[in-house]
Copies of this chain bind each other. A is one copy, B any other.
Amino acid sequence: MPKLWNDTIEAHRLAVREAILDATWKLAAEYGVLAVTMSQIAERAGVGRATLYKYFPDVESILVANHDRHVGDHLAHLAVLRDRAPDPGRQLEAVLEGYAMICHHRGRHGTEELSALLHREEHVGAAQRQLVDLFRDVIAGAAAAGRLRADVVPAELASYCLHALAAAGELTSEEAVRRLVAVTLAGLRATA
Most B CB within 10 A of own CB, among A59, A164, A166, A171: A164
- Chain B residues near A152: list those with CB within 8 A: 179-180, 182-183
A160-B164, A180-B160 given as contacts; is B110 within 8 A of A32 (CB)?
no
A187 contacts B183, C-beta separation under 8 Å: yes
Whole-angstrom CA separation of A39 from B47 in the bound complex: 30
> Which one of A10-18, A70-78, A80-88, A115-123 is at the interface?
A115-123
A149-B183, A159-B171, A183-B157 given as contacts; is B164 within 8 A of A119 (CB)?
no
A7 at the interface (CB under 8 A from B): no
- Chain B residues near A191: list those with CB within 8 A: 186
Within 8 A of B (CB), among A18-67: 31-35, 59-60, 63
- Chain B residues near A179: list those with CB within 8 A: 151-152, 156
Total interface residues on A, CB under 8 Å, equals: 47
Whole-angstrom CA separation of A114 from B108 in the bound complex: 11
Which of B34, B118, B188, B192 sits near A118, CB closer than 8 Å?
Answer: B34
Q: Known contacts A156-B171, A162-B167; can you find 14 more A-B pairs with CB under 8 A? A: A32-B117, A32-B118, A32-B119, A32-B120, A34-B60, A113-B116, A116-B169, A151-B179, A152-B183, A160-B164, A160-B183, A163-B163, A184-B187, A192-B192
Give 8 nearest A-B pairs by CB, closest first. A32-B119, A187-B187, A164-B164, A113-B116, A163-B167, A183-B187, A159-B167, A186-B187
A contact set with B: CB distance below 8 Å? 31-35, 59-60, 63, 108-110, 113-114, 116-120, 149, 151-152, 156-157, 159-160, 162-167, 169-171, 176, 179-180, 182-189, 191-192
